[in-house]
Amino acid sequence: MDEPDRSRGHRSRNLAIGLLLGALLIGGTRTLLFRGNEAAALAAPPIPAVPAGAEEHLAAALRFATVSDASAKGSPEALGALVDHLERTFPRVFAGLAPRRVGASLRCTWTGTDSSLPPALLMGHLDVVPVEPGTEGAWEHPPFAGLVTDGFVHGRGALDDKGSVIAILEAVELLLAEGFVPRRTLHLAFGHDEEIGGNDGAKAVAAGLAAEGTRFAWVLDEGGMIVRGAVPGVERPVAFVGIAEKGYVSVSLEATAAGGHSSMPPDQTAIGIVAAAAARLEESPMPLRLSEPTYAMLQRVGPEMPFGSRFAVANVEILEPLLLRSLAAQPKTNASVRTTTAVTMIEGGTKDNVLPAKARAVVNFRILPGDTVATVLAHVRDVVDDERVQVEALPWMKEPSRVSPVHSEGFRAVEQAIRQVFPEALVAPYLVLGATDAHHYEGLTEGAYRFAPFEVTTSDLDRIHGTNERVSVASYAKAVSFYMTLMKGN
């Protein structure tokens, strides 16, 4: 290299170093200036007191085995008995809120003093998932015993979702005893088949409300909770308020073959064809993307993160690919940045020495807002790319929900109640990874929010739909206080 070339090389390196240092300076400055945008808690009266022993009402409700599964289609007798029990337990609610049964679901209306205000809706569901056969012995207490011991209420449904239902009813009963009347009309709706899609419960209740011309200022259903340790490096508990939920579709992959004796096999059996197709889908997941709910969550929790993570979030416009790869590294966060692929079932073959005439796999996709059932099916056909495999969507499916606004009356109402009852918590919007009954009400409101006001640990989250489901007595009492505060503030 001659002298001019060396000079140009030095200038290029110096320029590159200067640009890098400039970018780091700008990024570091943005990180230092990155601040949270949570609302300040309003001045409020003392947090409503909850009488000692209120947790027994929840425990009693857990003794009704209101199990929903795809084959049983619910437990009609247990559901009817539970609603009868609720009528005895909360007499003021059933005397004053015009209760009506919609099939096995329950709907109530608490008329407010200001008819100019659009109503709001508090939701929950009465049914629970089954206890997985063979795991009964692993429960510390029988799943439907409804025991209060060691500071916890134990039983299936304590968190999902009888805890919310009974806390709402408890809050209304206590407010009625005070003589309180809300300004805004409040509706209560408790579905009976949420765990199998809500098509006979919440969907029917929503259709009835729509026929009456009802539109809600906001809707609050189950969803996120207050979790400590959910975000690495963030010491404060985070109250996750769902502003959207993922969609759902399961896809069948089926192949047929001639069958015959296993001593003369073809290059691939029907099982091999299907297994290879399923493996290709696992190896080629749908693309990573920062959806609106996850972006909104990061903007709330980012300022509380350690510097490295805070730097990435504060400069997301530049570092989005790096941030997405980091989130994709763990299953729990990967699910928030892509439509997920899960091979959940495979079947085929009748005997070890007989070639299978047919094989089938089922792949479940949880759909990120922005993707659709149609784009998932197109992805499956493109990746499988095998004319021997029949690709078909299974009947039950739903598109991702609409994203509800954060800068809205409904989100502010929920946030203020959280800040008043749980002042230490950081309130963050987020994407609900599962499904709730709230999507059935999307046509009746612009603001569907998903939050259950329970303080839990990350290990408690594993108990939901799992073994040893429980909620602490203290957490249940705070949940009742949250609903009372929310209703008084609106």
pLDDT bracket for residue 72 (50, 70, 90): low
- The answer to whether 380 and 251 are in contact (CB under 8 A) is yes
| 419-428: pLDDT as tens digits | 999 999 999 9
pLDDT on residue 31:
60
Note whether 166 and 230 are same-domain residues: yes
Confidence check: pLDDT of 21 > 70: no
Q: Is residue 8 part of a domain?
A: no
pLDDT of residue 49: 78
Of 154-168, 279-293, 320-334, 419-433, the poorest mean pLDDT is in 320-334
Residues 80 and 205 in one domain: yes
Identify whether residues 190 and 317 lie together within a single domain: no
pLDDT at 343: 98
Rounded to the nearest integer, the mean pLDDT of the chain is: 91
pLDDT of residue 38: 65
Catalogue the active-site residues.
127, 194
Q: Do both 370 and 420 map to the same domain?
A: no
Residues 165 and 296 in one domain: no
Same domain, 470 and 359: no
Last residue of a domain, one of 399, 415, 448: 399
Q: Looking at the structure, do residues 265 and 302 belong to the same domain, yes or no? A: no
Indicate the pLDDT class of residue 3, thresholds 50, 70 and 90: low
Residue 231 binned pLDDT confidence (cut-offs 50, 70, 90): confident
Q: 277-305 pLDDT, tens per residue?
A: 999 999 999 999 999 999 999 999 999 98
Residue 224 forms part of a structural domain: yes
Last residue of a domain, one of 348, 369, 399: 399
Three-state SS letters, the chain: CCHHHHHHHHHHHHHHHHHHHHHHHHHHHHHHHCCCCCCCCCCCCCCCCCCCCCHHHHHHHHCCCCECCCCCCCCHHHHHHHHHHHHHHCHHHHHHCCCEEECCEEEEEECCCCCCCCCEEEEEECCECCCCCCCHHHCCCCCCCCEEECCEEECCCCCCCHHHHHHHHHHHHHHHHHCCCCCCCEEEEEECCHHHCCCCCHHHHHHHHHHCCCCECEEEEEEEEEEECCCCCCCCCEEEEEEEECEEEEEEEEEECCCEECCCCCCCCHHHHHHHHHHHHHHCCCCCCCCHHHHHHHHHHHHHCCHHHHHHHHCHHHHHHHHHHHHHCCHHHHCCCCCEEEEEEEEECCCCCEECCEEEEEEEEEECECECHHHHHHHHHHHHCCCCCEEEECCCCECCCCCCCCCCHHHHHHHHHHHHHCCCCEEEEEEECCCCHHHHHHHHECCEEEEEEEEEEHHHHCCCCCCCCEEEHHHHHHHHHHHHHHHHCC
In a domain? residue 435: yes
Say if residue 235 is in the same domain as residue 353: no
If asked whether residues 112 and 236 sit together in one domain, one would say yes
With a cut of 70, say whether residue 34 has pLDDT above it. Answer: no
Whether 18 is covered by a domain: the verdict is no
The pLDDT score that the predictor gives to residue 24 is 45
Q: Would you state the pLDDT for residue 6?
A: 55
pLDDT of 22 strictly over 70: no
> Residue 37 domain-assigned?
no
Domain CATH for 440: 3.40.630.10
Whether residues 359 and 349 fall in one domain: yes
Tokens of 112: 């407010």
Task: Report the CATH number at residue 347.
Answer: 3.30.70.360
163 belongs to a structural domain? yes
- 27 pLDDT exceeds 50? no
Say if residue 166 is in the same domain as residue 94: yes
Tell me the pLDDT band of 260, cut-offs 50, 70 and 90. confident
For residues 86 and 122, membership in a common domain is answered with yes
At residue 48 the predicted structure's pLDDT band, cuts being 50, 70 and 90, is confident
Into how many domains does the chain fold?
Answer: 3
Structural domain boundaries, residue 296: 289-337
Question: Does the residue 349 lie in any domain?
Answer: yes
Residue 120 lies in a domain: yes
| Mean pLDDT in residue range 119-128 | 98
